[in-house]
Structure 1
Amino acid sequence: MLPDVTQWSPARLGNLTGKRIIVTGATNGVGLGTTRALAKAGAHVIMAVRNTELGAQRAADIAGSTEVLKVDLADLDSVRAFADSVDGDIDILINNAGVLTDQRHETVDGFEATLGTNMLGPFALTNLLFGRVRSQIINVASDGHRQATLRLDDMHLRRTKWTALFAYGHSKLAMMLWGLELDRRLRVANSEVVTHLIHPGWVASNLAQTSDKPLMAAAYKVVDGLAQRLANDVDEGAVPTLYSISEPIPPGSYIGPNGRFGLRGTPTLLGRSPDACDYDDAARVVQFAEKETGTTLPI
C-alpha cells in the first residue's frame, strides 16, 4: 500500500547526502523547486541549464551542494558535450526542462523545436548518460498528452497544421510513450534502474512567458496573472517529482496531483490516456527517436 499522500512533505526525502542528481531546466519553475528541495535534503545537484549565468545566481541562493553545467536540449552537440562533461556516476536523472513556443521553428538539428527540446533532447541525454545512472530516471511529462494526437508519419509537424498547444501536447505524448517503452526495456533487462513519469499540475512558471506576437503576449500575460493567484507555486509543482524519489512507487508509474482536472492536489498514481498506453506506438516513437538522435539505450 502506498503511504498516505496527505501527509507527504519534503522531509520524507530523508538524508540524501552522497547522492548525485541531475536536474535539467533547474533555473526556473518546477526545476528550480526540485533543485532547492533536493539540495536541502543533502543531495549534490547538477543544474543542467542553458543560461549558466542565471544558473550561477540561482545556485548562490540555494542552501546546499550544487554545480552548474551548460546544456541546450535543442542542440544535440550541446547534449553530447554535457554528457561528456559529467564526471562520475549519477544516482538520479531528472528530465525536467520543457518549452512551449509561440511559432513553429526548427532546432539546429532540423527538429520541430517543441519536440526537439521536450523529447528528443532528453531522449539523447538519457541514452548518453545511462551507463552511469545508478537508480532512477524521471521524465516530467504533462496531462496535456491527453488531448494530443500522435503523428507518427509527421513527427516534426511539417505537413500537419501547427499550433503551440498541439505541438506541446504532441511532444508530451511522445514523452509518455518513450517512458512506456523505456520502462519495458528496463524490465526486460532486469535493470536496477527504474523510470517514472511525472505530471506537475498547473504551475506558475515561465514555460511560455514571452512572444513577439501582441495577441499571444497579451494572452500569456492573462494566463500568467491567473497562475500567480490560483496555480501551484514552483515548490508545490516539484512535489510529484520529489514524491517519486521518496516513496516506494511501482516502476513505470505516472505520478501527478489528485485534484480536479489534475491541476492541483496531493501526488498520486494517475491513469494515462489510451494513446499513451500503446506499446506498438511506443516502440515506433523510440525507433524514430533513435534514428533522429543517433543514440540508443546501451542495455
Structure 2
Amino acid sequence: MVAATPEPPAWARLPRQDGRVVVVTGASGGLGLATAELLVALGAHVVLAVRDPARGQAAVRGFRPGLRGTTEVRRLDVADLSSVRAFAAATGAVDVLVANAGVMAVPFARSVDGHELQLATNHLGHFALALLLLPRLGDRVVVVSSSAHRRARLDLDDLDWQRRGYRPTAAYATSKLANLLFLAELQRRLTVAGSRLRATGAHPGSTATGITGHTGSGVLTRVGALGHRLTGMPPWRGALTTVHAAVLDLPGNTYLGPSGRLLGMHGWPVPVGRSAAAGDPDLAKALWACSEELTGVTWPL
C-alpha cells in the first residue's frame, strides 16, 4: 500500500505571480538573491536592482533551471541618492518593491551624499526609492528589517552620527528601527490617502548569509560567520518571510518573522511583534520629516 502524500505546509502554498513585476534591491547575493529566485519560481518578472550588474547577471545564471518567471538585472546603489533617482526615473509600472538591500555593522563611513552609511543604505535610499516609485506602484512596498531593531535608540538630532561616538552595531540597530517606523508611517499615509496600496514588513531571523563579512573587525566577522553557519537557516528559508510579505493578502503594516524557535530566529513565517519604539506613531512621523529633509524626496500622493 502506498502511503498518502502529506499535505504541503501552508508556507508552500503560495499564490502564483504570473505577470507581476517585482523589484528586489540588493538581489545579487544572500537573502535578496534567494528572495528573487523564489519569486521567479512563482512566475514573477523580477528586477534585480544591484550595485554590480555583472555580479547580478552571474547570480541569475545560478538559478534553478525551468523557473516560471523572468529576470532583469539593473544597476542601483541605494546609498547614492542620484542612483536612486536615476533608477526610479527609468522604471515603469511595478507591482511590488522589496526594500531588501542592506549592510550590517560596517566601519564608520559616509555615503556620497554625506550620510552615515548604514542609515543611507538601509533606510534613506529605500525611503526615497519607495516614494519615487509610489505613483507607479500597483500593490505594495515590502520593508525588510531585523530583530536587532529591539536594541535601538533613535536620536533624531544626530541620525548621521556626527556628535556621538560611532558604534557599528548600534548604528545597524538604529537603521533597522528606522525601517519599521517607515513601514508604519507609510501605511498610515496610504490609509489616510485612501490608497489601495499597502506596506508590509519582514525580518529573516538567523540566516546563513555573508552579511557580517564587512564589519572591519576580524573577530566580529569570524564570530558572525560561525554563528550563521551553526545556527542560521539556509537563505531560501530566511527569504520566505519576505516572500510571504510580498505575495500574501495581508493587512497593511503586517510584520512577519520566523515562528519562534530559538528566540524567534528560526521557523516558518508568522506575524510577529515589534518594540514599543517601532510602534510609536509620533516617532514615526518625526523620522519621516527628517527623512524627507535628508533625501529631498517628499510624499507624492
TM-score tier by shorter-chain length is over 0.9
Structure 1: tracts of 5 or more residues without a match: 1-5
Distance 2:10 2:59 in 1: 26
Structure 2: which amino acid aligns with 1:224?
A: A
Q: Which residue of 2 aligns with 1:130?
A: 134
Q: Is the 8 A contact 2:202 2:256 kept in 1?
A: yes
Q: Which residue of 2 aligns with 1:220?
A: 221
The superposition leaves residues 3-49 of structure 1 with CA deviations (integer Å, 9 ceiling, x where unpaired) of: xxx92334x22321100000001111111111001001110000000
Structure 2: which amino acid aligns with 1:75?
A: D
The superposition leaves residues 180-219 of structure 1 with CA deviations (integer Å, 9 ceiling, x where unpaired) of: 110100111111111011111011112121354xxx1233
After the TM superposition, which parts of structure 1 deviate over 3 Å for at least 4 consecutive aligned residues? none
Distance 1:217 1:51 in 2: 25
Q: Is the 8 A contact 1:210 1:217 kept in 2?
A: no
Tell me if 1:287 matches 2:289: yes
Q: Is the 8 A contact 2:11 2:268 kept in 1?
A: no
The superposition leaves residues 116-144 of structure 1 with CA deviations (integer Å, 9 ceiling, x where unpaired) of: 00000000001111111000110001111
- Name the SS of the counterpart of 1:160 in structure 2: coil
Structure 2: which amino acid aligns with 1:283?
A: K
Closer/same/farther in 2, CA of residues 103 and 210 from structure 1, 3 Å limit: closer
Distance 2:95 2:171 in 1: 32
Q: Which residue of 1 aligns with 2:49?
A: 48
Residue 78 of structure 1, aligned match among 79, 83, 97: 83
Within a 5 Å distance, the mapping from 1:143-158 to structure 2 comes to 143-158=147-162
Q: Is the 8 A contact 1:140 1:197 kept in 2?
A: yes
Q: Aligned-pair RMSD on alpha carbons?
A: 1.4
- Name the SS of the counterpart of 1:115 in structure 2: helix
Q: Which residue of 2 aligns with 1:3?
A: none
Q: Which residue of 2 aligns with 1:247?
A: 248
Structure 2: tracts of 5 or more residues without a match: 1-7
- TM-score, normalised to structure 2, is 0.92
Identity, in percent, stands at 38
Segment of structure 1 superposing worse, 243-252 or 127-136? 243-252
Q: Which residue of 2 aligns with 1:297?
A: 299
Q: Which residue of 2 aligns with 1:162?
A: 166
Q: What is the deviation of 1:232?
A: 0.9
Within a 5 Å distance, the mapping from 1:135-284 to structure 2 comes to 135-212=139-216, 216-259=217-260, 260-284=262-286
Q: Is the 8 A contact 1:21 1:44 kept in 2?
A: yes
The superposition leaves residues 34-69 of structure 1 with CA deviations (integer Å, 9 ceiling, x where unpaired) of: 100100111000000001111011122224410000
Distance 1:219 1:173 in 2: 22
- Name the SS of the counterpart of 2:211 in structure 1: coil
Q: Is the 8 A contact 2:106 2:118 kept in 1?
A: no
Q: What is the deviation of 1:227?
A: 1.1
Structure 2: which amino acid aligns with 1:175?
A: N
Structure 1: which amino acid aligns with 2:60?
A: A
